[in-house]
Amino acid sequence: MIVVCAASGRIGSTVIRRMQKTLAPSDFIAGVRDPGAFTALKDRDIELRRTDYDDPGSLRESFDGAERVLFIPSFADTERRKAQGLNVIDAASACGVKQLVFIGITDTRPDSPLPFAHAYGAIEIALAESSLEWTVLRTSMYTDNLQEQYPLWLERRELVTCAGDGRIAYVSRDDIAASAVGVLTSPVGLHAKRIYVLTGPEALSYDEVGALISELFDTAIEVKHVSVEEFTDALRQIWGLAYEGAAHVVKVTPLFQRVFKEGMMGEVTDHVEQLSGRPPEDVRTWLQRHPRKAV
């Protein structure tokens, strides 16, 4: 039996949808923070278990009898995200879970500019030191993020970046979910103690992303390469008053740009195809399949 944690989230719910197609309802459990508030699987024959990363007792109850667990981290701040990961590892170990599959990120360097990279690195180390059969699925930047970004680029007719010619191997949430299901439905030993890097089929620079969006939406976008300071100022101007999470965006986005510039999300692998059995979707096809969002 498989427990899918964070089943209410975008990756978790995609994993559940995929499992509904190929597994019996008794083969998997949707782990959610608040089963009472979670109505998406109402009237389905799928067991829900309270699975709160901040509550070790709930994790032990949730993982009771589970052979495998999929851990999709939350968006908590760095120290809490790390503590949540350690809680999951402890509970899985205490419950005799055979395999813990962890959705991580490509940049786990201790000196990464991304604060939460340290949390993911620490969780990977704890997994390696545990007695679990673990599998890490490090993920590149999500293709889905572009759907939030390009409408603004089109509206302003410009894409401002300080990532230089750094490349990004965008991967979709759907391909991540398909890869996770591939691992969770293979013999445990096949992917034990392995780190995979989930990427799309290509790595694009912002010049290439801008050209692609210009072509797909028949609107010329100018790609402007600026300094970190100018980039941060531009973010402040765009998001300053418009959005309650603006301070976070202004703080974190330049750090991601640095990571792109350093090439930490530019590696392309064939791991999605290895694990899911199908090639990952490229950015063009993904964007053509998904509707344009309002700014």
Ligand X SMILES: NC(=O)c1ccc[n+]([C@@H]2O[C@H](COP(=O)([O-])OP(=O)(O)OC[C@H]3O[C@@H](n4cnc5c(N)ncnc54)[C@H](OP(=O)(O)O)[C@@H]3O)[C@@H](O)[C@H]2O)c1
Q: How far apart are CA 13 and CA 21, in angstroms?
A: 13
Under the binding rule (CB under 6 A), the answer on residue 285 touching ligand X is no
Fill in the amino acid letter for 25.
P
Under the binding rule (CB under 6 A), the answer on residue 254 touching ligand X is no
> What tokens does 222 get?
């100018």
User: Among 145, 186, 219, 288, which residue sits at the site for ligand X (rule: CB under 6 A)?
Assistant: 145
Under the binding rule (CB under 6 A), the answer on residue 53 touching ligand X is yes
Minimum CB separation of residue 36 from ligand X in Å reads 11
Q: How far apart are CA 280 and CA 174, in angstroms?
A: 9
Q: How far apart are CA 211 and CA 220, in angstroms?
A: 8
Q: Which stretch binds ligand X (CB under 6 A): 70-78, 197-205, 230-238, 266-274?
A: 70-78
Considering beta carbons, is residue 144 or 233 the nearer one to ligand X? 144
Q: Which of residues 158-217 bind ligand X (CB under 6 A)?
A: 173
Contacts of residue 126, defined as CB under 8 A and 6 or more positions apart, other chains included, come to: 85, 86, 89
Q: How far apart are CA 78 and CA 97, in angstroms?
A: 25
Q: Which of residues 222-241 bind ligand X (CB under 6 A)?
A: none
Q: Which stretch binds ligand X (CB under 6 A): 67-75, 232-240, 247-255, 270-278?
A: 67-75
> What tokens does 268 get?
């392309």
> What tokens does 16 get?
């559940």
Considering beta carbons, is residue 32 or 160 the nearer one to ligand X? 32
Helix, strand, or coil here: 43? coil
Q: Which of residues 88-117 bind ligand X (CB under 6 A)?
A: 105
Fill in the amino acid letter for 290.
H
Residue nearest ligand X, CB atom distance: 9
Rule CB under 6 A: which residues touch ligand X?
6, 8-12, 33-34, 51-54, 72-75, 105, 139, 141-142, 145, 173
